[in-house]
Structure 1
């Protein structure tokens, strides 16, 4: 049974990867909004119904990894010693999962498409809200706030601000044609939010 399950999972992952590759090629070639689900399904040789077995929305093709990356950031954050402050711990966690590293050759076109497409932008924000839910418990502990104390806005404000800084840094990175270092841009954004020069 285990071997059969593993084979099924590998087959499903291979199909997922192939559909993603085909869709991304279409998006980058003719634009995200100009590419339809029917066109993706047809090019991939699957039915529209089969498409929805792999993806909930067209936006999920571009942003699918963003949700799972949130789980990686949470795991990395929990590995940072509890003596490290919340802002520094978040930076370490983002760095640990390469959220502050970008491959310019691969990412520029995708990032440009994301920041220039309203539906992708809003879906990205939605997934980042999920990150906030994942990361807040750790930050709450670092601040010495009891788990059941939901009256203090500090943990949510810090996590939301860090995510907003990451988003702002990414947008500036795209506008600058990928010339700047994303981690440096993130640090500058955080310094501005924290009132540091």
Structure 2
């Protein structure tokens, strides 16, 4: 049997070129997909921090306007003044004056309570925005990102109640570190060795 050596070399060269081309294409596709995933994670990270910043601003505004002790003292003082106003115009027994005081103070406190509840309810969309921003991060392939997001969410919901920023900031730092580890993965060993040699 006579084998054409040139045809055999040409066939091996063609197969090698096809295999190399396929490998290069697969590698380029994998790199492009990894970059797209990192870009998506960066967008999700930004959305999460924006939602948390908006929530913190709303919680702080709620605290300043409604929830601090000075505002509660102001509300009590205004309720007393509102109650005393109608009592000054009521003539007759002490019972009528007391009823006028309580009626005026009750009206004021009811208005104050309605506004406080409305302010608290206004936080619900902010919490929903945080939950919506966290949802894709909780499904991320990296378990570090999932766990850091879960802990961050727990800190966010406890912050809404306690207003304590210490735990929230610690969990935010953990979350940021977990996401950065995925966004900026360490270079391959071969590449880092090559860079060290060049330096």
If the length of structure 2 is used for normalisation, what is the TM-score? 0.26
If the length of structure 1 is used for normalisation, what is the TM-score? 0.27
Larger radius of gyration: 2
**Where is the helix percentage greater, Structure 1 or Structure 2?**
2
